[in-house]
């Protein structure tokens, strides 16, 4: 992570950008210039887990940090001045997921500044984009990171817990912060419509209890990691008509963490799981099936296992975002349905 000593001078200095990231050159262009989108009045105050943020006027230069927070403004035709570089599912290594690239092409916009967050937030790069607001409703910002970013511009952080903001709430918070609440609600309705169509297409998903395993080391299967009910991946199963296993619900009730671990020696705790979802390839699935302990899971024994590649856009399907749903949801639901057909 870069040193934060630069902030005293960097924020105060009049920085000049050599190129802007909107087609109009103003750093925050909107599609459909002839249209008059619904707008909120300002100032607006957004409450979140790290404080209360007041945005005095409608932001023109929007920056985003962390996973997928750029998708709400982009879906509304607003190009951020800077956003996080994709670090998961980016199979062509250009820093953009395909639906983001397609949207930028549709808007006739160049790629915005991409913040490399491999070693944490690049505060200097964020400051250099001179944002009016920084969106991070789906993130794991620490209080220190929030404070540092707030020296650059007003920051919208997560509402309750790190990396646990449901997609609907992410849209609501971001659209409110940029003065487009009504458009945000329409976006939510549109996504719900797409999800509803998928549920109708795959009725076998209804009522199937499903758990999502975290990334794990196939050379050491003594522990099983899983996402709790606080994580958006596990929560999304409910959108599809699936259910939370009682074992996961009970384990989640006493924590606010988004992931936990269970000893493989107590794998029978997951006897109430119909379907297992995890990151990996077919070899990982075979490793699970061959393990003397994990193979005792009913879902694994049934072959009701879905492996998602973390190196391709399909791997992002489990964590729906405003712009990814139409690209990956049907494929993801199809994989889940195929697993549901194996449940005995």
Low-confidence ranges of the chain (pLDDT < 70): 1-38
What local confidence, expressed as pLDDT, does residue 5 receive?
37
**pTM (2 d.p.):** 0.86
Per-residue pLDDT of 41-93, as tens digits, reads 999 999 999 999 999 999 999 999 999 999 999 999 999 999 999 988 888 88
Per-residue pLDDT of 87-108, as tens digits, reads 888 888 899 999 999 999 999 9
SS in 3 state form for the chain?
CCCCCCHHHHHHCCCCCCCCCCCCCCCCCCCCCCCCCCCCCCCEEEEECCEEEEECCCCCCEEECCCCCCHHHHHCCCCCCEEECCCCCCCCCCCCCHHHHHHHHHHCCCCCEEECCCCCCCHHHHHHCCCCEEECCCCCCCHHHHHHHHCCCCEECCCCCCCCCCHHHHHHHHHHHCCCHHHHHHHHHHHHHHHHHHHHHCHHHCCCEEEEECCCCCCCCCEEEEECCCCHHHHHHHHCCCECCHHHHHHHHCCCCCEEEEEHHHHHHHCCCCEEEEECCHHHHHHHHHCCCHHHCHHHHHCCEEEECCCCHHHHCCCCCCCCHHHHHHHHHHHHHHHHCCCC
């Amino acid at each position: 992570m870069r040193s934060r000593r630069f902030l005293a001078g960097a924020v105060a200095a009049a920085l000049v950008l050599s190129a802007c990231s909107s087609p109009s050159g103003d750093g925050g262009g909107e599609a459909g210039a002839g249209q008059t989108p619904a707008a909120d009045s300002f100032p607006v105050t957004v409450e979140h887990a790290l404080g209360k943020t007041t945005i005095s006027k409608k932001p023109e230069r929007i920056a985003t940090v962390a996973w997928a927070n750029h998708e709400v403004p982009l879906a509304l035709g607003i190009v951020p001045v800077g956003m996080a570089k994709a670090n998961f599912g980016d199979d062509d290594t250009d820093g953009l997921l395909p639906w983001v690239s397609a949207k930028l092409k549709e808007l006739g916009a160049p790629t915005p500044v991409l913040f490399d967050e491999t070693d944490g937030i690049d505060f200097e790069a964020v400051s250099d984009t001179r944002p009016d607001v920084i969106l991070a409703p789906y993130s794991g910002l620490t209080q220190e990171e929030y404070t540092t970013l707030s020296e650059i511009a007003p920051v919208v952080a997560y509402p309750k817990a790190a990396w646990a903001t449901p997609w609907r709430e992410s849209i609501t918070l971001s659209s409110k912060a940029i003065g487009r609440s009504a458009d945000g609600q329409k976006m939510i309705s549109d996504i719900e419509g797409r999800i509803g169509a998928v549920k109708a297409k795959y009725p076998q998903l209804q009522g199937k209890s499903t758990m999502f395993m975290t990334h794990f080391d196939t050379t050491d299967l003594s522990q099983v990691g899983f996402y709790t009910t606080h994580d958006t991946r596990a929560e999304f199963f409910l959108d599809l008509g699936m259910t939370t296993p009682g074992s996961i619900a009970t384990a989640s009730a006493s924590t606010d963490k988004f992931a936990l671990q269970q000893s493989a020696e107590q794998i029978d705790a997951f006897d109430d799981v119909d379907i297992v979802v995890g990151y990996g390839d077919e070899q990982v699935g075979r490793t699970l099936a061959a393990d003397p302990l994990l193979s005792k899971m009913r879902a694994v024994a049934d072959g009701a296992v879905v492996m998602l590649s973390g190196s391709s856009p399909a791997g992002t399907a489990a964590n729906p975002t405003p712009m990814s749903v139409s690209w990956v949801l049907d494929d993801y639901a199809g994989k889940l349905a195929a697993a549901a057909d194996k449940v005995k």
